[in-house]
Amino acid sequence: MGFKHDYPSYSSLIYKLARCRNFEPVITLLHSIKHHNIRCEEALFIGLIRHYGKSQLPEEAIDLFQQMTSFNCVRTLQSFNTLLNVLVDNGRLEKANEMFKCASKMGFKPNSVSFTVMIKGWLERGEWEQARRVFDEMPERGVEPSVVTYNCLVGYLCKKGDLDRAKGMLDDMAKKRQKPNAVTYSLLMGGLCSLDKYNEAKKMMFDMEYRGCKPQMVNYGVLMNDLAKRGLIEEAKALLHQMKKKRFKPDVVTYNILINYLCKDGRVAEAYKILVEMQVQGCEPNAATYRMMVDGFCRVEDFEGGLKLLNAMLASEHCPRLETFCCLIRGLAKCGKVDDVCFVLEAMEKKKMRFDLHSWEVLVREAFGEDHGSASSLVTELISAHQ
């Protein structure tokens, strides 16, 4: 007897191909699964539907959902909700709404997740009244709104600056014995900060703790972001110190807030100290941290400092943006650092990133202006260095 693939080997290969957005062999493998009458688990199709969504292929997601039963796989509310979310995220709200209304005909009873997805879709469209109608329909259908449902509504109202109605949602939650979580309060705090009510937002930290909801990183992040945005860097640093005193371990998002605004303000040396501090504290920088730092060094024309950070970034297996590469090359070229320019170009090549002709023209023009002799000389040196 020859070797015969089983479900785990098929699913493992399908997942890998889908993550790479290589869907043609996925379809071939699915045909093979059907041909060999291999029973599939719903999780496989849920994963594929999500990957179709991420690849902006909602029609393929719909087709796959409709074919699931032909693979001897029972569709549950989980796969239905996954498809609804994919449709909403891909701007197919009308199709999602059509499926939502036909849920019972397909044998599904929508739950709080189903309703929340639809509410999210209408709110993203700016259709508050429609979202509210879906929300009001929930108790009529015997479905209790979850804290995530409420957070969708609270977040929308806060963005619109309607804090009174947003706070009113908290009263509604209390009536339905639904407890707000740290995210609920962070949304309200963000809304207050957007109306220049920082002190009221800060007071909410004490209110939430009094009501039995312990502040989390997301709440401190809202306050820190508002302080840094208004240029109150020292106050933001003090808040970071306060967090540590309360035994909160700042995460990379929190540190990035400070680093971002310091770099924008040209205070790169201070930003670099924060970078070192976070690493000492055991918090690993992410791609965004390195990008902000490299861009920050370029902004103050410290291109050698930017190059050092680029090295650290590449060593950590993070990838800069094309704009970052361009800024660094332009600065190094101005300084006549041919070897360093070659290093950056080689790093780009390894990441399979290249400038188009227009980008090269802009880069050379900005680096040398009308000095065609210097530009020609550098290009000759670069060609020689690459040979």
Q: What is the mean pLDDT of each run of 10 residues along the chain (387 residues)?
A: 67 90 91 86 94 96 94 93 97 96 94 97 96 95 95 96 93 89 96 95 92 91 94 91 88 93 92 93 92 91 89 86 81 78 81 72 59 51 47
How many residues are present in the chain? 387
CA distance 144 to 178: 9
Q: Residue ranges of the domains in the chain?
A: 1-90, 110-215
The CATH T-level fold of domain 110-215 is 1.25.40
Predicted pLDDT at 343: 83
Alpha carbon distance 268, 257 (integer Å): 13
CA distance 47 to 34: 18
pLDDT value, residue 165: 94
Contact call for residues 71 and 33 (beta carbons, < 8 A): yes
Lookup: tokens for 190: 């963000």
For residue 122 the two structure tokens come to: 């209408």
Q: What pTM value is reported for the model?
A: 0.82
At residue 382, the pLDDT reads: 47
- State the Cα–Cα distance between residues 206 and 226, nearest whole angstrom: 18
Confidence (pLDDT) at 51: 96
